Amino acid sequence: MNQPFQVQARRFLAHPSALAYLGLFVTMMVWAIVPVFLKRLLAVLTPIELSFSRFLLSGGILLVWVLLRSRQSLVAMFRQDLRLVLLCTVLGPLTAMVCFNFGILHITIGTAAVFAALEPFFTYLLAVILRQEHWQPQRMVSILVALAGMTLVVFSRNVWGVTYWVSLLLVTLSPMIWAANSIVTKELVKRHSPIVMTGASFVLSSLLLIPALSPDYPAAITGMGPILWLSLGYCVASNILGFSVWYWSLKYLPASSVAVTMYLIPVLSVAAGMIFLNETLSLLKALGIVTVIVGLYLVNVRWR
């Protein structure tokens, strides 16, 4: 009974594109829980300190692996594409993560995840502007649907203020930056190993953040308890797994197809926030999340 299924599964997994989709699905599940741990870590670390810690540990682990296994690949990448690597670092892990960490200080992780899910929308617009994809009028309808959902999510909150709007802006900047990163790195990952590129990008990000660290950072990081260190470890592991799979999948899938897997995160993050952080989910917010997901599905799947 199971033999035909096993044969079909083997055939499916034999295709790199199928493996890419499977890897992205697992990555989205891992990333969806990350904001829960980020919230806990932000109670003792600043957003910049948290970003630096994740980059330094993740990049250091990957860099050791690269130096042991493919040192020449690292040297070749810097010789051939140093400027592009620096651009991918700035328009990617560095600014996107810092913006997101600042943003989630004052909004729920469910709201943050919904705004982060706009990346496929921005990726498609950039791809059209750069003439990597063709504009389709029917996609405008789905874009409007997604924006309507975002409006519902924004106004589901009972109290607004400057801090709330600034936090939303910072969280929205994160998917915009990642969209640019998906476009810029599309050609880079065809020439270089995703793991080499990810490790180099993380190490460069940590180096660039050193001047912004506070004098209290050493005491804050060494004073963390076991639970917080486990939380940081999960975030580091999500960096290594997630971005390696992300860049690897760009070898076999279009940028917009890679980005569309992000629409799984809002649902999973909302559930994680309710379970681990006791966040509430109003009917208006739930309706907004569903509307956003429908719009993103239409713009990146149904009307491709």
Q: What is the pLDDT at residue 158?
A: 67
Q: What is the pLDDT at residue 4?
A: 59
**Any domain includes 1:** no
Residues in the chain: 304
**Any domain includes 237:** yes
pTM over the 0.75 mark: yes
**Any domain includes 292:** yes
Q: How far apart are CA 272 and CA 264, in angstroms?
A: 13
The mean pLDDT of the chain is 82
**Any domain includes 11:** no
**Any domain includes 5:** no
Beta carbons of 272 and 36 less than 8 angstroms apart = yes
Helix residue ranges per DSSP H, 90-216: 95-103, 109-116, 119-129, 137-154, 162-191, 194-209
**Any domain includes 25:** yes
* Environment class of 82 (CB within 10 Å of its CB; exposed 0-12, middle 13-18, buried 19+): exposed
How many CA atoms lie within 13 Å of 221's alpha carbon, on the beta-carbon side?
A: 19
Q: Please, which residues have CB within 8 angstroms of residue 298's CB and are 6 or more apart in sequence? A: 139, 141, 142, 145
**Any domain includes 3:** no
Q: What is the pLDDT at residue 219?
A: 94
**Any domain includes 62:** yes
Q: What is the pLDDT at residue 303?
A: 52
Q: What is the pLDDT at residue 241?
A: 81
Q: What is the dihedral of CA 237, 244, 45, 234, to 10 degrees?
A: -20
Q: What is the pLDDT at residue 160?
A: 77
Q: How far apart are CA 217 and CA 183, in angstroms?
A: 35
Q: What is the pLDDT at residue 249?
A: 82
Residues of the chain with pLDDT under 70: 1-14, 120, 138-140, 158, 255-257, 259-260, 262-263, 296-304
Q: Which residues form the domain of 295?
A: 18-302
Residue among 203, 202, 300 at smallest CA distance from 243: 202
Q: What is the pLDDT at residue 43?
A: 92
Residue among 71, 50, 7, 70 at smallest CA distance from 206: 50
Q: How many domains, in total, are found in the chain? A: 1
